[in-house]
Amino acid sequence: MDITVRRASVNDTEVLLPLVRAYRVFYRQTPDDAGERRFLRKHLRDKTSTLFFASSGERAVGFVQIFESWSTVRLAPVLILEDLFVEPEHRMHGVARSLIHAAVAYARETGAAAMFLETAVDNERAQRVYEREGWRREEQFHKYNAPL
């Protein structure tokens, strides 16, 4: 399978929408055409996230979205790999690996001190991919969510 990975721009919004929608549905969210378009367009336009996507021919088949944060402890930027999704029919062909490599290369290029992610406890397939790529499960800190 011939896969190309490149950084997305606001001009890629429409080609990325089916992937964003499928990702949200995977996490049991109701499709929201206007909301998904607005979210994606805003972050790409304002450069508040960095998104890479994988294509097979003219079709986008996967994406990874990264957000920047800051670490006071490290006095440096850290990156959050917020989203990674590959269409089911394109899994097991190295697409996720290529997207992860693009994200890590971007982290290194930008001088980030660290990159981290969260995934669902029952998403064992994704956990295996991350672990194969050298990511390690957090054992030092607990994650808490505020009641909003």
This prediction has a pTM of: 0.91
CB 103 within 8 A of CB 53: no
| Closest by Cα among 94, 91, 85 to 2 | 94
CB 81 within 8 A of CB 64: yes
> 4-132 has which CATH code?
3.40.630.30
Tens of pLDDT along the chain (148 residues)?
Answer: 689 999 999 999 999 999 999 999 999 999 999 999 999 999 999 999 999 999 998 899 999 999 999 999 999 999 999 999 999 999 999 999 999 999 999 999 999 999 999 998 999 999 999 999 999 999 888 888 899 9
**Eight-class DSSP state of 32:** -
**Eight-class DSSP state of 31:** P
